[in-house]
Amino acid sequence: MKRISWPTIVVIALLVLFPLVVQSDYYRHIFILSLMWVVIGSAWNLLAGYTGQVSFGHAIFFGTGAYTAGLGVTKLGISAWWGMLLGGPVALLVGLIIGWICFRLRGPYFALATIAIGEIFRLVAIDWRSMTDGMDGILIIQSFRSKLPYYYLALALAIACVFAVYLVLRSKWGYYFVAIREDQDVAETIGISSFRYKSLSLMISSYFTGMAGAFYMNYMAFIDPHVVFSLHDISIMAILVAIIGGVGTLWGPAVGAFIMVWLQEIFRSAFFGLLPQWVSEAHVLVFGLLVIFVIRYLANGIVGDWSKITGDWFKKKQLSYSSSGN
């Protein structure tokens, strides 16, 4: 196996040192959320970016993971940390069943089915009050006051998820996933059971997304169906994270996660209180404009088109240099 490259080590080292240098709970919080979104974005990217099965329903797995942790506390009386262990497998099981039903559909029809199932999960979580306490949500007591344990847990999850995707891509599974994305009919004729391998991809993806959900329950200490089964705040956010960073690239979702979480925070706080409060309502609009910009000019995302970004700038500098030289 190839040695891990220098930039990777530097980035990981910086992330490890970050909370030791930056004492502010606010910035630590933003980084914790960003790292959580690295996990969800990378997980979504494995299924959609590499296997070609676009999901609009990753909130299903996030919410399932979160509720596994939460219900462990309210129904079984066990610690929410068990969720970190159980959230992944339970989400995986849900993924397996959804895949078994939905992978009979291709392309946009699969995407539509995932939206529908996502909404079903949200509505069931709202209405099944005896189980979930509906919109009252689940409130637990945080284990730690300090952000540090949560930060390092989120960092470990993010590294584990990106590394898992990296390993998968260098295996038979990775080749099979990409072959299915490129042409499912060809994949079948070269001996690939597209159903089996799409299911495997979904299982890995839902496992990590479920872990992220369980982490969210532990960290935020409060969940309700509108938060964790949200179509636009979770399912679509996962897609945006990957699109901005670069669909079908290893590091794209990681970059996209930090950009999107920061953008969301900048708008939520109306540019840290510098602009009038109504600006905070505009974040969805800005996300929309950003997506239009990225799709129009950087169709492969920031990571996927990085050479284009730097190349274009380099070219422009050269042009201005040569014209001034003349």
Residues binding another protein (CB under 8 A)? 170-172, 175-176, 178-179, 182-183, 185-194, 248
What does 289-302 look like in DSSP terms, one character per residue? HHHHHHHHH-TTHH
In the complex, the smallest distance separating the C-beta of residue 205 from another protein, rounded to whole angstroms, is: 20
Measured from the CB atom, is 76 or 190 closer to another protein? 190
What is the separation, in whole angstroms, between the first and last Cα of the chain? 50
Q: Compute the distance between CA of residue 160 and CA of residue 239 in angstroms, rounded to an integer.
A: 20
In the complex, the smallest distance separating the C-beta of residue 45 from another protein, rounded to whole angstroms, is: 15
Question: Residue type at 277?
Answer: Q
In the complex, the smallest distance separating the C-beta of residue 196 from another protein, rounded to whole angstroms, is: 9
Measured from the CB atom, is 176 or 215 closer to another protein? 176
Phi, psi of 222 (to 5 degrees): -145, 135
Measured from the CB atom, is 73 or 187 closer to another protein? 187
For residues 32 and 25, the answer to whether their CB atoms sit within 8 Å is no
Q: Compute the distance between CA of residue 158 and CA of residue 38 in angstroms, rounded to an integer.
A: 6
Measured from the CB atom, is 175 or 262 closer to another protein? 175
For residues 98 and 235, the answer to whether their CB atoms sit within 8 Å is no
Measured from the CB atom, is 245 or 248 closer to another protein? 248
Measured from the CB atom, is 169 or 227 closer to another protein? 169
In the complex, the smallest distance separating the C-beta of residue 250 from another protein, rounded to whole angstroms, is: 15
Question: Residue type at 237?
Answer: M
Neighbours of 141 (CB within 10 A): 7
* 257-269 as b/e: b if 16+ CB within 10 A: bbbbbebbbbbee
In the complex, the smallest distance separating the C-beta of residue 248 from another protein, rounded to whole angstroms, is: 8
| Rounded (5°) CA angle 184-102-242 | 70
In the complex, the smallest distance separating the C-beta of residue 190 from another protein, rounded to whole angstroms, is: 4
Q: Is 132 exposed, middle or buried (0-12, 13-18, 19+ CB in 10 A)?
A: buried
Measured from the CB atom, is 105 or 178 closer to another protein? 178
Q: Is 29 exposed, middle or buried (0-12, 13-18, 19+ CB in 10 A)?
A: middle
DSSP conformation class of 145: S
In the complex, the smallest distance separating the C-beta of residue 247 from another protein, rounded to whole angstroms, is: 11
In the complex, the smallest distance separating the C-beta of residue 25 from another protein, rounded to whole angstroms, is: 43
Q: Compute the distance between CA of residue 182 and CA of residue 62 in angstroms, rounded to an integer.
A: 28
Q: Compute the distance between CA of residue 314 and CA of residue 116 in angstroms, rounded to an integer.
A: 46
Measured from the CB atom, is 187 or 238 closer to another protein? 187
